[in-house]
Amino acid sequence: MATTTIAQILSCFFLLNIVLQLATTSFAFQSDELLVDDDEFGLEGGRLPDPPPETRPATSTRRRSAESGSDLDSKIQFQLEHAFGDSDFSPAGTFTARLKKWPNGGQTLTKLRFSRNALSQTDKENFKRLIEGDDFYQIRLPSNLLNQLGREHVISSVKARCLSQRDALDEHFVINMDGVNVLGVNYGPPGSCQYPRVSRPPTKWSFNSHTLLKYSNEVLRTPVFTEAVLGENGEGEELKPPERSFWAKYWMYLIPLGLIVMNAMTQAMNLPEEQGTGQPGSQGPQAISGRGQAPAVAVGIGLMDQRISAIEEEMHYQVSPNFLFSSSFRNIDQSKLF
Amino acid sequence: MNMAIRVYLLLFIVLSYSYTAFSLYEDQVGLMDWHQQYIGKVKHAVFHTHKAARKRVVVSTEENVVSSLDLRHGEIFWRHVLAPSDVIDQIDIALGKYVITLSSGGSILRAWNLPDGQMVWESTLLGPKASKPLLLVPANFKIDRENVMFVYGSGFIHAISSIDGEVIWKKELASEGINIQQLIYSDGSDTISAVGFVGTHRFGAYILDVKSGERLKYMSMEFTGGFSGDLSLVTDDTAVAIDSIGTSLVTIQFHDGLISFHQTPLSHLIQDFRRAAVISPSNIPGAFILDTDNSVTLIKVISRGELKVVEELGHATAVSDALFLPGGQQAFALVQHRDGKILLTVKLDSDDGTSNLLEETIHLDNQRGKVQKVFINTYVRVDRSNGFRVLIVMEDDSLFLLQQGEIVWSREDGLASIVDVKPVELPVEKDGVSVAKVENNLFEWLKGHLLKLKGTLMIATPDDVAAIQKMRLQSSGKSKMTRDRNGFRKLLIVLTRAGKLFALHTGDGRIVWSRLLRTLRKSETCQSPRGISLHQWQDPHHHALDQNPFVLIVGRCGDSLDSAGLLSIVDAYTGEERNHMEPVHSIVHIIPLSFTDSLEQRLHLLLDANRRAHLYPRTAEALDIFRRESGNIYWYSAETEEGTLRGHSVYKNCVLEEADNFCFDSRDLWSIVFPSESEKIAATATRSLNEVVHTQAKVTADQEVMYKYVSKNLLFLATVAPKAVGPIGSVTPDESSLIAYLIDTVTGRILHRVTHHGSVGPVHAICGIINYCDIQENKDVLKLVLGTHNLTSPITAYSRPEVSTKSQSYFFAHSLKTMAVTLTAKGITSKQVLLGTIGDQVLALDKRFLDPRRTVNPTQVEKEEGIIPLTDSLPIIPQSYVTHALKVEGLRGIVTVPAKLESTTLVFAYGTDLFFTRLAPSRTYDSLTEDFSYALLLITIGSLVVAIFVTWVWSEKKELQEKWR
């Protein structure tokens, strides 16, 4: 019986051990994955980032299967333009989206799609030149989608080398919108830009584009009604003032008490040395008033009053700063403590 | 044994003495703070010296102050600072007991009681259109036994009772499109006339019945030559003006309903007249003063509009109004500059020419500039003759009273209009230079401590108390001119609107040196120079310690951004102007770079209106440093008008006619366009460059790490609905909103955007902490909302950070004028937000109140971390007013400077007044208080040691006795 249980326990333990080991190995594996984050911190030698899953947008790209729009008039199209270094802007691609009207009059974009034009030979040359010169690749979008000629463009730029960190070119747009207005566009590689700097032209001249539309959020004030809070506590507060801790209330009594106890203890420690053969049975009031205060500790508070009288008698020949404290202690503590 | 107890006791005593106070005690006021009151540049002055009472002068100033000054000492009897929109136009004294002020373009008339400055009455005079405000207080004119004054403003003339400000009659005068320039009333007459121009070519005059305001006559006449400038009244029926081309004087006579013009070419009157002349606005009956570019001429009008030059006054710079002397004569004062001295002449003007009554030279220090204004007053001398005193206003806005060839008193009122402040360290104490004079006398030192001890034990007599207070005030050399260990003593370099630089000592606020900058004075090339800002140019603290620190003063010729810039470099210890460049390219923005050259001169990038960047100092070394780092220099510009925010970087050298290696073109890297129909930029804020952050990360109660700043390049920007840009109350909360952005200034990324509905401007922002007005819908009360954003996770410039923000808004019961945050040397001490309230006080608010993680019911862990339960509004604790009982009138800015002592920060608040104090947001945990009694400590220790020995001897004795028993 006993052996089986021991065997069972042993096997259980073994199993647990395996499970634990497995768990730790799988944990180690997970921590390896977290290196993506390290890249975001800009650590040196971090491996090339995979595009983080959360940045792969739902409203994304490259799906050419154009859904036949139910109401065509709400479809909207706008152009992406790009520039190499200080060259002029030229068309680089087209965004298409659906304009959704809300009952309250607001308009938002949904179903954003992006198709990039193929890069021409001169574009490729320019791009190579940018990478060599470590210069900026610039893009721009119209700032108002309904009136695209009217106002200026929002610009964004990125060092060209950041886009060509892998074989093909990776780009990521975050378009900050307010209704039909483009406030700004965040343009860059999907992950971070590699450091130390590597400048090499891409082998495949095609863009992997990711786009994300961003609308702002509104502040929702956490309503704290001061009146209500006061109403709940107000009456209560009037009745009982906030309770202070015991220490806060009685520290001025406790400190002298502590002093006296300490005093008594030191005396008590001295006593056995001097009175090694003292008889505890013969303790009377006289004995206490004599010299030994050892029982004061043992008897505790109950005897304290007597002890104080003893100290007062001692005062004749022992000037102690405890005197003041001990007398005050007696006046008040009798009511509080006993 | 007992030793332990005694040590414990001793510690207890020491601890009880080192207890530091939460707020100030009454007798600590003035120990580490100082407060100075100013009034600003004087515009008008009216003397009140008739009665036997205290002699005083009532002034109104450009800082919108109306004040009564003691004529003997220049002290302020009383003072009122009116709102900046309520500009004082005219002042006068009525009935000998009321000071009358006309303000807000002639629409508000107030009477203040002369002795104590209480407001007696106020009248609002509204009218259809703006016009030149005029105030006329006749000496003794009565309607129905009430003294009456006349006010012209907003197109209406009003007759107003002096007693209670009631309007007796009013009449519109603007119907003919006349621009009234003068009101004329001669004593005893039944009519009052108002004269002015209709358009540029017509002169018009109204004659009104003085009792009822009935319009008796209106006459007007066209003058073909046209008029320019103002009309100057010479006598009750004669006025002078300059014609439209500025070559001749026109004398206008209007008498008995007839108007006649008489034209006199200026070249007939003045030799070698070249350029435009101006009639100076002095009020001398029968004559006027013509100011041409090379001389000042007193011209008299003789009969039939003929003009006669009475006297060439030379290069006078200021002329006073005329003063009537008892004998029916009149006098006026004239101030000239001669050999660095001031020559004051009082001239007696009689029918047969002028004669000098008084001629005095006064020596003023040469940092005062030229005399701007003179006000004259007379008194009766001991020998019954007429004496004169004059009040002069100098170019640096200071005010002087001169009498008997001496300066009776002076006021540095330029300090009322501070533009910018920069703190500078004092020199290090060198051997042999004034070493601690305070501690040199041991006896004095002991006596002082004994006195303090007496004070502590409350056995000091009143005399002793006074002595202690005096000792405290001048204690510990707080006004020494050397650096102290705690870093409390510093120089505050202050630039005023008049272009004067002052160095104030933080110990007692005295002026160490002052200098009227040559660069910021009017010159041929620069007509209206204006100081903009101060920058630390050279702040040696490592390898160039023998160098003095220098500050860079940046100015502009004129108000527009594209006007030429002015630069000047000034030694912060002596005030010497080392270098000045003028006028240079326009200066729109100044970027102090974080690089210094081998002399510890800081590199500055100055951006001009053509988007070029200019590098200073212009040395090869600086250029070298800049070239190396230029790839990492980015800046942004916010264009409020267009509603765009742009990011720039350095591109390449400018292409100009003459090659300039220090000039760089910039290029746009990114831009953000705010929708013009719904957003308008209201405020921007970045973290301050000199802020030191001790702990970058903070571990919260739930084991998460929060980072103090995600990136150094974070910009907070707030936009409000275009309608809500105006003053508070111009929009209803429904139609306004405020949008807060967090933007990375290198890449132009919008990290966070959040909308607050129902909020309006004005927005004050300090980094991380935003603040804006909010109108609550149902209560209709103006309140302020404050919130902070904390961001987690750091970023590299090109990664896309997932920013998590927390925000919280609170109501605050005061409107704010300005905000600042306390800075400490190492950034360990917790921070306080300094709020300049609408009541011109500075309130210190613990930053914990603005923690966005406050919740209604914080958990136990959060409570341990020090999170306060969420409340709707921010508490205003009366003890936390930094300015205690004082007011910093017209508060405009708060500057905080870290002291060397980590717990302490220095606060300088400026407006019309100046206030300086030391603050310890977490109390002075790293030092004993200044009035800590070392003597008491020593005596306690000494007596305890003695007591220990005595008791020891006693106990030995006793033990011996016991043993013998």
Nearest-CB residue to B670 (from A40, A157, A229): A157
How distant is the Cα of A318 from the closest Cα of chain B, in angstroms?
A: 7
Q: Does B428 touch chain A (CB under 8 A)?
A: no
CB burial of residue B91 (10 Å; 0-12, 13-18, 19+): buried
pLDDT band at B386 (very low <50, low <70, confident <90, very high): confident
How distant is the Cα of A20 from the closest Cα of chain B, in angstroms?
A: 25
Distance CA B841, CA B887 (A): 5
Can you give the pLDDT at residue B915? 94
pLDDT band at B503 (very low <50, low <70, confident <90, very high): very high
Q: What is the dihedral of CA B158, B161, B167, B170, to 10 degrees?
A: -30
* Chain B residues with CB-CB distance to A155 below 8 A: 646, 668-671, 748
Pick A329 or B95 by higher pLDDT. Answer: B95
Q: Does B632 touch chain A (CB under 8 A)?
A: no
Asked whether the beta carbons of residue B755 and residue A39 sit closer than 8 angstroms, the reply is: no
* Chain A residues with CB-CB distance to B954 below 8 A: 317-319
Nearest-CB residue to A224 (from B670, B748, B856): B856
Can you give the pLDDT at residue B400? 92
Asked whether the beta carbons of residue A40 and residue B795 sit closer than 8 angstroms, the reply is: yes
Question: What DSSP string describes A18-42?
Answer: HHHHHHHHHHHHHHHHTHHHHHHTT
Nearest to A136 by CA among B631, B566, B896, B561: B631
Distance CA A219, CA B939 (A): 62
Asked whether the beta carbons of residue A155 and residue B671 sit closer than 8 angstroms, the reply is: yes
Asked whether the beta carbons of residue A318 and residue B954 sit closer than 8 angstroms, the reply is: yes
Interval A189-202 mean pLDDT = 72
Distance CA B675, CA B739 (A): 12
Pick B642 or A18 by higher pLDDT. Answer: B642
pLDDT in tens, B36-59: 999 999 999 998 877 666 788 999
Lowest mean pLDDT among A11-20, A215-224, B497-506, B540-549: A11-20
Lowest mean pLDDT among A304-313, B147-156, B731-740, B840-849: A304-313
Residue of B nearest to A157 (CA): B669
- As beta bridge partners, residue B245 has none
Contact B546, B538 (CB under 8 A): no
- Per cent of chain A over pLDDT 70 is 47
Contact B769, B821 (CB under 8 A): yes
What rounded mean pLDDT belongs to chain A?
A: 63
The number of angstroms, rounded, from the C-alpha of A111 to the middle of its chain's C-alpha atoms is: 34
Bridge pairing between strands B644-653 and B663-673: antiparallel
CA dihedral sign of residues B515, B521, B376, B352: positive
Distance CA B231, CA B239 (A): 7
Q: How many C-beta neighbours within 10 Å does residue A223 have?
A: 8
Nearest-CB residue to B809 (from A143, A182, A219): A219
**Per-position b or e across B701-734, b if 16+ CB within 10 A of its CB:** beeeebbbbbbebbbbbbbbbeebbeeeeebebe
Residue of A nearest to B744 (CA): A186
Residues 6+ apart with CB under 8 A from A331: none
Asked whether the beta carbons of residue B676 and residue A151 sit closer than 8 angstroms, the reply is: yes
Can you give the pLDDT at residue B911? 92
How distant is the Cα of B755 from the closest Cα of chain A, in angstroms?
A: 5
**Count of pairs with CB atoms under 8 A, one residue in A, one in B:** 159
Interval B857-881 mean pLDDT = 81
Task: Please check the confidence at residue A52 and state whether its pLDDT lies above 60.
Answer: no
How distant is the Cα of A191 from the closest Cα of chain B, in angstroms?
A: 6
Q: What single-letter amino acid sits at B900?
A: K
Q: Does B9 touch chain A (CB under 8 A)?
A: yes
Distance CA B775, CA B785 (A): 10
* Chain B residues with CB-CB distance to A275 below 8 A: none
Lowest mean pLDDT among A158-172, B752-766, B887-901: B752-766
Nearest to B847 by CA among B826, B820, B825: B820
User: Which token pair is A221?
Assistant: 């004030």
Which residue of B677, B719, B749 to mutate against A (max A Cβ within 10 Å)?
Answer: B749
Residue of B nearest to A154 (CA): B671
* Chain B residues with CB-CB distance to A192 below 8 A: 796, 798-799
Asked whether the beta carbons of residue A41 and residue B951 sit closer than 8 angstroms, the reply is: no
Contact A144, A151 (CB under 8 A): yes
Question: What DSSP string describes A80-102?
Answer: EEEEETTSPPEEEEEEEEEEEE-
pLDDT in tens, B675-711: 888 888 888 877 777 677 666 666 666 666 666 655 6
Pick A293 or B649 by higher pLDDT. Answer: B649
Question: Judged by CB atoms within 8 Å, which residues 758-817 of B form the interface with A?
Answer: 793-802, 807-809
DSSP class of B481: S
* CA within 13 Å, CB half, B1: 14
Nearest to B235 by CA among B195, B277, B202: B195
- Which whole-number Å values give the CA distances from B547 to B487, B517, B543, B654, in the listed order? 19, 21, 9, 33
Lowest mean pLDDT among B25-34, B91-100, B833-842: B25-34
How distant is the Cα of A218 from the closest Cα of chain B, in angstroms?
A: 5
Which pTM does this prediction carry?
0.77
How distant is the Cα of B812 from the closest Cα of chain A, in angstroms?
A: 13
Contact B653, B664 (CB under 8 A): yes
Asked whether the beta carbons of residue B756 and residue A219 sit closer than 8 angstroms, the reply is: yes
Asked whether the beta carbons of residue B669 and residue A144 sit closer than 8 angstroms, the reply is: no
Can you give the pLDDT at residue B332? 84
User: Which token pair is B847?
Assistant: 């930053």
Alpha helices per DSSP H over B371-441: none
Distance CA B182, CA B204 (A): 11
Contact B562, B611 (CB under 8 A): no
The number of angstroms, rounded, from the C-alpha of A152 to the middle of its chain's C-alpha atoms is: 39
ipTM above 0.90, yes or no: no
DSSP class of B454: H
User: Which token pair is B247?
Assistant: 């070559």
pLDDT band at B799 (very low <50, low <70, confident <90, very high): low
Task: Please check the confidence at residue B95 and state whether its pLDDT lies above 80.
Answer: yes
Pick B40 or B12 by higher pLDDT. Answer: B40
DSSP class of B399: E
* Chain B residues with CB-CB distance to A157 below 8 A: 669-670
Counts for chain B of helices (H) and strands (E), in that order: 7, 67
Interval B464-471 mean pLDDT = 75
Q: What single-letter amino acid sits at B563?
A: S
* Chain A residues with CB-CB distance to B872 below 8 A: 224-226
Phi, psi of B354 (to 5 degrees): -120, 155
- B762: preceding bond cis by omega (within 30 degrees): yes
Asked whether the beta carbons of residue B673 and residue A255 sit closer than 8 angstroms, the reply is: no
Residue of A nearest to B810 (CA): A221
User: Which token pair is A17?
Assistant: 């051990």
How distant is the Cα of B769 from the closest Cα of chain A, in angstroms?
A: 16
Phi, psi of B15 (to 5 degrees): -60, -40
DSSP class of B277: -
* Chain B residues with CB-CB distance to A143 below 8 A: 673, 675
Interval B170-195 mean pLDDT = 82
Distance CA B793, CA B656 (A): 45
**Per-position b or e across A277-306, b if 16+ CB within 10 A of its CB:** eeeeeeeeeebbeebbbbbbbeeeeebbee
Q: Does B671 touch chain A (CB under 8 A)?
A: yes
Lowest mean pLDDT among A154-163, B142-151, B435-444, B554-563: B435-444
